Chains A and B, each alone.
Chain A
């Protein structure tokens, strides 16, 4: 809610009359049976009524954020010689996918205050409140979450991946891995000067399963008994058929 308000304010008052006009190479990602990930080209231009301001250069930050879900981060500890899960922290809100691309080192492109306000960098995009009181270092758990998801290609920070021409045209490419979940992937484009946000544009990429994938997923969630029976009959028929075929081969 607060974020939506902040966004509205930001959209309502572009300070120096610079606005983002952007396009996506695709606004839909269809997950088919042969889906292996997707590359989305995000490009656009800066619209302005006056000449290019002198001084601090224009920077562009692009974020793509997948649907969020709470996640449990567990830490193993050695007890009597064996490694077992001991402490756990529930991170209330962690996007399943989050990519940040910038045109300059992050600290240069956006100030810490603006980052806090717009929740742009990965640590800011994750919200963790209410870690149990007995856990000394709750930050360690959020760091582990980021480390694990970064290793899986789900969280990306690509500094310098946005190319800006003549302070007017910009483009970048976001690589989405194959292990995506369905949902609307919010895409934000920030224009900054001297670390201050000048304009934000928000749009969405619709990632959804299509065809057989969609049909099976729906069936499994809505009619689990029928789906279970279907899985079982497939197994029984396949087992029986293999046996029959092999008998024919031998005969």
Chain B
């Protein structure tokens, strides 16, 4: 069934979009990533103009993260206090990011910059996660899981300590604030929610337990993407509500299934899967940059 999208001004197959939404929603519920880094290239691939894809992708992530947060809240796996600290940093970082984004846009190389940041961050994070989780999996198989002592992080030494009860942490607010700023900055530049950076940062830099990480990440993504959606709607008129509706219907169902499925899987397995996913997206983008394209010309609307 074909549906004509009023803002994107193209006609798409409704079931295909529904399926894409469902797939990304599933990953979102499973891993606590918003899925922005997947949905945007996928929409672009089916012929949606890139500006509309970025804005509408953000809108769909709002829905799937609300749905995911609700499920996690019920299981008490959201650290609201940590989420608020991260969010405060995230908003600051994203304002700075939007400013930098506009400067690079004006120079005409934003596509390249975005692609290179994708390759760099996805590659590094994916490789680190894969290595760590494989090691953890081997260790678990070889011996009974040793009581894992949290290594000393920066948060133990810095001032302004705060109690994060849900995460079982008593650390300084400076590292979470810094992580929030960095992720918000990246998110604005790369046009994503930033979950794929946030999740590993919470596990490895802040030492939060994996169980709490996903819900807390979704909690902050929900707000960041809501802000992004609104900014895109007001500044660029590029949110397509019909496209979003189709993606959302698929996405919320997928997110619920993902959250249920996540309970059944081991944390290490979950992390390996996420690492592989991140690496494959990275490889795809890297190939696009390296291989000789069949068409070296591209068209873009002239911005007034």
Inside 8 A of A236's CB, which chain B residues have their CB?
62-63, 66, 226
Q: In the complex where A85-B111, A228-B239 touch, is A77 in contact with B252 (Cβ < 8 A)?
A: no
A73 to B3, CA, bound (A): 29
Chain B residue at minimal CB-CB distance from A36: B2
A106 interface contact, C-beta 8 A: no
Inside 8 A of A36's CB, which chain B residues have their CB?
2, 4, 11
**Of B65, B234, B252, B300, the contact of A228 (CB 8 Å cutoff):** B234
Most buried by A among B62, B68, B297, B298: B297
A8 interface contact, C-beta 8 A: no
A149 to B252, CA, bound (A): 36
A85 to B288, CA, bound (A): 13
A224 to B298, CA, bound (A): 29
**Of B7, B65, B229, B237, the contact of A239 (CB 8 Å cutoff):** B65
Question: Contact: A231 with B11, CB < 8 Å?
Answer: no
A244 to B79, CA, bound (A): 21
Chain B residue at minimal CB-CB distance from A180: B9
Question: Contact: B302 with A228, CB < 8 Å?
Answer: no
Question: Contact: B3 with A239, CB < 8 Å?
Answer: no
Question: Which residues of A from 175 to 205 have beta carbons under 8 Å from B?
Answer: 178-181
Output the least CB separation between A153 and chain B (Å). 12
A148 to B11, CA, bound (A): 18
**Of A83, A239, A241, the contact of B292 (CB 8 Å cutoff):** A83
B230 interface contact, C-beta 8 A: yes
A147 to B295, CA, bound (A): 10
Q: In the complex where A33-B4, A71-B299, A240-B66 touch, is A178 in contact with B10 (Cβ < 8 A)?
A: yes
Output the least CB separation between B234 and chain A (Å). 5
A224 to B234, CA, bound (A): 5
A35 to B74, CA, bound (A): 43
Chain A residue at minimal CB-CB distance from B255: A242
Inside 8 A of A76's CB, which chain B residues have their CB?
293, 296-298
A81 to B287, CA, bound (A): 11
Question: Contact: B229 with A232, CB < 8 Å?
Answer: yes
Question: Contact: A243 with B301, CB < 8 Å?
Answer: no
Question: Contact: A228 with B233, CB < 8 Å?
Answer: yes
Fill in one digit per residue for B225-238: 1 if any A CB lies within 8 Å of its CB, else 0. Answer: 01001101110010
Interface residue range, chain B:
35 or more
A65 to B229, CA, bound (A): 35
A135 interface contact, C-beta 8 A: no
Question: Contact: B7 with A32, CB < 8 Å?
Answer: no
Output the least CB separation between A47 and chain B (Å). 39
**Of B67, B108, B237, the contact of A85 (CB 8 Å cutoff):** B108
Output the least CB separation between B30 and chain A (Å). 15
Q: Which of A53-61, A125-133, A213-221 contacts B (4 or more CB under 8 A)?
A: A213-221
Inside 8 A of B239's CB, which chain A residues have their CB?
220, 227-228, 231
Question: Contact: B301 with A72, CB < 8 Å?
Answer: yes
Q: Which of B95-103, B165-173, B240-248 contacts A (4 or more CB under 8 A)?
A: B240-248
Question: Contact: B59 with A84, CB < 8 Å?
Answer: no
Inside 8 A of A221's CB, which chain B residues have their CB?
237
Question: Which residues of B from 252 to 304 have beta carbons under 8 Å from A?
Answer: 252-253, 255-256, 288-293, 295-302
B71 interface contact, C-beta 8 A: yes
Inside 8 A of B112's CB, which chain A residues have their CB?
82, 84-85
Q: Other CB < 8 Å A-B pairs besides A34-B2, A71-B299, A149-B299, 19 of them?
A: A33-B4, A35-B11, A71-B302, A76-B297, A83-B293, A90-B302, A145-B299, A147-B295, A148-B297, A148-B299, A179-B10, A228-B233, A235-B63, A238-B63, A238-B245, A238-B252, A240-B70, A242-B256, A243-B252
Can you report 17 A-B residue pairs in the complex whose CB atoms are below 8 A from each other? A71-B302, A73-B298, A73-B299, A85-B112, A90-B302, A148-B298, A178-B2, A180-B9, A216-B6, A224-B233, A232-B226, A234-B244, A235-B59, A241-B252, A242-B255, A243-B70, A244-B70
B interface residues (Cβ-Cβ under 8 A, vs A)? 1-4, 6-7, 9-11, 47, 59-60, 62-68, 70-71, 74, 108-109, 111-112, 226, 229-230, 232-234, 237, 239, 241-242, 244-245, 248-249, 252-253, 255-256, 288-293, 295-302
